[in-house]
């Protein structure tokens, strides 16, 4: 998978899978959420002070679905008189 150029937190970065590399001047904190991605870890790539290597995970923004309960007023009225619509005179 090739490196893709992205804009992460307003900074030009490169992403491959769940790894993002960005300039060390970027002020990015671990456990912060940027653009739907949570930064899991941050290391100084090659220890030269040039690039951050960020490991990220996607954050789900799905809201939980509310439980749907039927209103009692919506229940169908069932006549339990036993009338099946047939004539009983055979």
Instruction: Provide CB contacts within 8 A for 15, sequence distance 6+.
Output: 3, 4, 6, 8, 21
Top mean-pLDDT range of 22-31, 55-64, 65-74, 76-85: 22-31
Confidence of residue 28 (pLDDT cuts 50, 70, 90): confident
Q: Does residue 20 belong to any structural domain of this protein?
A: yes
Q: Does residue 44 belong to any structural domain of this protein?
A: yes
Q: Does residue 45 belong to any structural domain of this protein?
A: yes
**Against a cut of 0.75, is the pTM above it?**
no
Domain that holds residue 8: 4-58
What pLDDT is attached to residue 35?
83
Q: Does residue 16 belong to any structural domain of this protein?
A: yes
Q: Does residue 67 belong to any structural domain of this protein?
A: no
Q: Does residue 41 belong to any structural domain of this protein?
A: yes
In angstroms, how far is CA 74 from the centroid of its own chain? 34
Q: Does residue 53 belong to any structural domain of this protein?
A: yes
Q: Does residue 12 belong to any structural domain of this protein?
A: yes
Cβ neighbours of 41 (radius 10 Å) = 10
Bridge partners (DSSP) of residue 56 are 39
Tell me how many domains the chain contains: 1
> Within 13 Å, how many C-alpha atoms sit on residue 21's CB side?
12
């Amino acid at each position: 998978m090739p490196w893709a150029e992205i804009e992460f937190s307003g900074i030009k970065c490169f992403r491959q899978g769940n790894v993002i590399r960005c300039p060390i001047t970027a002020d990015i904190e671990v456990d912060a959420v940027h653009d739907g991605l949570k930064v899991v870890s941050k290391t100084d790539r090659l220890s030269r002070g040039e690039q951050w290597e960020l490991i990220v995970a996607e954050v789900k923004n799905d809201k939980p679905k509310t439980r749907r309960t039927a209103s009692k007023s919506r229940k169908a009225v069932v006549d339990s008189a036993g009338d099946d619509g047939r004539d009983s005179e055979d």
